[in-house]
Chain A
């Protein structure tokens, strides 16, 4: 083989390597990986949110005197009618009651919703504070007129399940006024919330307090009562030389809330970074310094107590004391008991559990209802997160979508279906079901957040498309120039040579023709 041919072969192989191996490899290795998210499914879930959910809450009917064999069916029909009466577009989630007859021994009035029908002189209802029972009073007339089922259904939906009625069916709220002030009161829900309790004094003289027993007596029960949906961690501490700037309010007997809001400096207290939980509820018990002396405004009411507590939206409670602490003070159990029990009450407000004061429902029913609300909120939140994820990745085409994100998204959708199954199954519906659904929904939120906030989905971690060529040009430029100039050169040579050959052949043909002609 001549050197020329060898050279040409080498050039050709270089060019072929470049085009057939190099280019695809380069393209493959520099392409941003974008996992295919189930965008359409997520979008359809987002546009018709909660469409596949239908909560069913079992309720058991018992009657203490008369035997009504079919009263539960009648109440069921009435309850369904009442729930249907709400405008469908307003409704947030579909929910219904499942009214069943009471079976002795099988049903526990403490854990299940029980309606007790009691014969009385007039119609009425009451909901005992301890338990989940609804007592409906009826008289003989109402039985004759067949009013009892409607009345029982109304009692259940508008009173026992008022929370669902207002939140899920979006029924017109009667307590619209209190709502606005309490709307921003609650800290956002999280399964883990930290409670930070601190005693603040403006002086430096040592203070001791009997916080341990007070907390055990007043906070632990509350903590346990709420433990099915929120896990509290608690820390306590005493801070000296910090009276939240109260000293600037000396000698003011009457001040407005605005003045107080602007004076109190809570910034030093927000030790959010010292614990792991995302959210916290704070309690600050403040004593002014001896120099400040009595704060006249602190007992504005004619009450005997020397302190006043204030709710700070989404932050906690500030308890302001009128008088400074004496030297070497010991804060007694009695004092702390009243403060902590007020605080325990405020925790319900700060969690968003109680909104208005004149509530008829029992706290236990309220907690259950609140759990259901959290489940629905969590579902909504996670679908919104997934939908934002899809929109964001669609909008930013240069952003990579790692495999973990896809796994999390798929996992989240699976968990969601599990929850929906739990909620929709009319045969379930006990405490355990709600707790399980709540646990799953918390997990769901976590998984969705993890998918959205994946570390690799930051545009700065890779080159955008237009930068790619610029970055690789110093390397690829010279190689391209050398390879292809050589390739085109030899191609040209080959072409010209073959042309020459062709013309030569043509000449040859002509001469032979001439010779033949001559021979003739």
Chain B
């Protein structure tokens, strides 16, 4: 692959895919996002590194003629909801606040790991947003909106904490290009479907589903992506060149002033795939194969480790059977304190005896009172009886 591959410096890839609009007639936004999800997954980004935010559940909508399925084309050849889809944020969880929290990683301490964007300075992050928007805003759930400077500030915070190596922002909405106009953090590349005062259009409708199933910009992006394989050498420049006004019906905007690399050197798979480069492990075992079996595999490191291990074992058996390793460094304070906590045994014993005695006493008085009442009633009955008599 030569020079093209060498310019990339990331070691892992993440994708954040967000559909922001609710209701059945916005079917296409869900389909857009699910198509992108399928593409990045096909190119090797694992589910644990994809954050999928799906604002509505069109697959299970009562109006859906094909329950449990979502299609992005009228030919319905590909069910986007068919294979395993891990939705991280669903329905009303898709909010501006959660999106910003996701980017800046500010959560409760018990927020699940699978719902967090755990990127570092080696991560290339692909962010895709689709929904209804306007000049400098994008609507979430038809109830609130995110402004372009909110996203810009979130990116700035990500950059400050080295939470990305490079960031690719793609947005398919009306007046999309305004959404990345406020960005100011380095190493961000952005592409949007339409410029200021321009609408983004849907591609086509499915008669049976009854609504539009995909947006034009996303449709042609996906069309381009289908040609891509993990070992593809096509670049972002090729992708951007593929957008024409005849296809998209709006002016696609690309922002590169924050980005240092030349677009024709940036592979599509730098953002859409997750290629792990293998390094053959030549040393250690395979080199000294002439020795006998036992020695063959043992490196000096292992020998030392074993020696130390045996020493520790001997020490432990003679002095103290407890394992003392790593207590100084890696103890979790909470667990350690929990282990130390004990009961006051005498107090527990005394309390137990007291309860036992009290119980016995109670039992006794109860049985006594029972017989007493029986007696009295008997007498009274008798008395009454006598009186009446």
Contact = CB atoms under 8 A, between A and B. Distances in A.
Interface of A: 129-130, 181, 184-185, 188, 191-192, 218, 220-222, 224-225, 227-231, 257-273, 276, 278, 301, 303-305, 308-315, 317-318, 334, 337-338, 341-342, 344-346, 348, 357, 362-364, 385, 388, 391-392, 395-396, 432, 435-436, 438-439, 442, 452-461
A227 B330 contact: yes
B129 to A, nearest CB: 16
B114 to A, nearest CB: 4
B106 A457 contact: yes
Contacts of A276: 113
B231 A221 contact: no
B113 A272 contact: yes
A346 B281 contact: yes
Interface residues on B, range: 35 or more
B44 A455 contact: no
B12 A314 contact: yes
A341 B105 CA distance: 38
Contacts of A184: 11, 122
Contacts of A265: 44
Contacts of B104: 453, 457-458
A185 B329 contact: no
A222 B302 contact: yes
15 contacts: A267-B44, A267-B45, A270-B49, A311-B281, A313-B276, A313-B277, A313-B279, A314-B122, A315-B276, A337-B297, A341-B297, A344-B299, A346-B284, A453-B104, A460-B97
B280 A257 contact: yes
Contacts of A259: 231
Nearest to B160: A388
Contacts of B118: 272, 278
A231 B329 contact: yes
Contacts of A435: 328-329
Interface of B: 1, 11-12, 41, 44-49, 96-97, 100-101, 104-108, 112-114, 118, 120, 122, 150, 153, 156-157, 160-161, 229-231, 274-281, 283-286, 289, 293, 296-309, 312, 325-326, 328-330
A221 B308 contact: yes
Nearest to A388: B160
Given A257-B280, A310-B280, A458-B106, A305 B297 contact: no
Given A227-B325, A459-B150, A129 B300 contact: yes
Contacts of B274: 267
Given A264-B278, A303-B286, A273 B113 contact: yes
Contacts of B305: 221-222, 224-225, 344
Contact of B308 (A224, A271, A304, A357): A224
B120 A392 contact: no
A460 B41 contact: no
Contacts of B283: 345, 357
Given A310-B279, A313-B11, A341 B300 contact: no
Contact of B41 (A222, A267, A341, A342): A267
A258 to B, nearest CB: 6
B301 A231 contact: no
Contacts of B161: 385, 388, 452
Given A130-B304, A314-B11, A348-B301, A260 B278 contact: yes
Q: Which 10 pairs, one residue from A and one from B, show the smallest C-beta to C-beta distance? A: A267-B46, A231-B330, A221-B305, A227-B326, A221-B309, A388-B160, A460-B97, A262-B231, A273-B114, A341-B297
Contact of A344 (B156, B301, B326): B301
A337 B279 CA distance: 22
A270 B304 contact: no
Given A314-B122, A435-B328, 5 more contacts: A257-B280, A264-B276, A312-B279, A455-B107, A458-B101
A130 B308 CA distance: 9
Nearest to A260: B278
Contacts of B289: 303-305
Residue of B112, B229, B296, B330 with most chain A CB atoms under a 10 A cut-off: B330
A15 to B, nearest CB: 37
Given A258-B231, A270-B46, A273-B113, A342 B275 contact: no
A225 B101 contact: no
Contact of A227 (B97, B157, B160, B329): B329
A48 B209 CA distance: 64
A130 B283 CA distance: 21
Contacts of A227: 325-326, 329-330
A267 B47 contact: yes
A346 B302 CA distance: 11
Contacts of B308: 221, 224-225
Given A459-B150, A461-B97, A224 B279 contact: no
A278 B108 CA distance: 16
B285 A341 contact: yes
A315 B49 CA distance: 14
Contact of B281 (A229, A269, A309): A309
A455 B101 CA distance: 8
Nearest to A399: B153
Nearest to B112: A273
A261 B122 contact: no
A258 B1 contact: yes
